Chain A
Amino acid sequence: AQKITQTQPGMFVQEKEAVTLDCTYDTSDQSYGLFWYKQPSSGEMIFLIYQGSYDEQNATEGRYSLNFQKARKSANLVISASQLGDSAMYFCAMRESNTGFQKLVFGTGTRLLVSP
C-alpha cells in the first residue's frame, strides 16, 4: 500500500485565489510527522510546513496552512492568495517513528499552475 497518496496530478488556480492540495497517508505508528515540500523547475526541494501527529492545532506558515484530519489520515495543504511564483510541484511526505525519524517517504506530487 502507498504510504503517501496524492490523487491530483495537476491543479490550476487563478492568482489571488486559494487552492487545496490533497494528501492522504497510511501508517500504524502513533508518532509521525507530515511535511510539505515545493519543487520549482530549478529542482531544489523547499520545505513549506510541518505537522506532528500529536499537534492539536493545524500548522500554519504565512500563506500556507495544513488541514490535518487525523482520523481520516489526511494532511491537505492550503495555499491562500496564490501567486504566480507558487507554480511548482508540491510533495507531501511523512516521517515515521519506526524508521527512527530518519527518512522521508514522499508522494508522487501535484503540479500547481497559477494563472494571471
Chain B
Amino acid sequence: GAGVSQSPRYKVAKRGQDVALRCDPISGHVSLFWYQQALGQGPEFLTYFQNEAQLDKSGLPSDRFFAERPEGSVSTLKIQRTQQEDSAVYLCASSFPVTLSAEQYFGPGTRLTVT
C-alpha cells in the first residue's frame, strides 16, 4: 500500500518568504508527527497530532512555525518569514496505535533551503 508522502520534496525559499509543507499520512493512521532534521543531525521532534487535535507542539522552535491537520488526515507545516536557520529536512511520520512499541512510518522528507 501507499506509504507516507510529502510534498514538495525540495523547496528553496528566499529569507523572509512563507512556505507550506504537506504531509499525506498512511490512510487510517491516527497519529501524525513532524520532525526537523538539520544537516548531520538526528531528527528532532516538532509537533504531534492525534486525529485533528494537536496534542503536543513543544518542539516548534518559534511562533513562526505553525502546523495543522484540520480533517485528521493531511497535515501542513507552515513556516512564516523563513530564516536561514530553518534550512533542514522536514520529516513527517504517521502511526496507527499510540502505544510504546508502535512503529512510526516516515515519509521521504522535504528539504528546505533558505537563501
Query: Which positions in A face B, CB cutoff 8 Å?
Result: 4, 31-33, 35, 37, 42-47, 50, 52, 91, 93, 95, 97, 99-109
Query: Which positions in B face A, CB cutoff 8 Å?
Result: 31, 33, 35, 40-45, 48, 55-56, 59, 89, 91, 93, 98-109, 111
Instruction: Give the residue of A32, A44, A91, A95 whose beta carbon is less than 8 angstroms from that of B42.
Output: A91
- Complex-state Cα separation, A43 to B109, whole angstroms: 7
**Which residue in chain B gives the minimum CB-CB distance to A91?**
B42
Assess the A45–B56 pair: CB atoms within 8 A: no
Contacts of B109 in A (CB 8 A): 43-44
Contacts of A104 in B (CB 8 A): 33, 35, 43, 45, 104
Assess the B101–A106 pair: CB atoms within 8 A: no
Contacts of B45 in A (CB 8 A): 103-105
Assess the B48–A102 pair: CB atoms within 8 A: yes
The smallest beta-carbon distance between B64 and chain A, in angstroms, is 21
Q: What are the 6 closest A-B residue pairs judged by CB atoms, nearest first?
A: A106-B42, A45-B106, A103-B45, A33-B100, A47-B103, A43-B109
Assess the B91–A45 pair: CB atoms within 8 A: yes
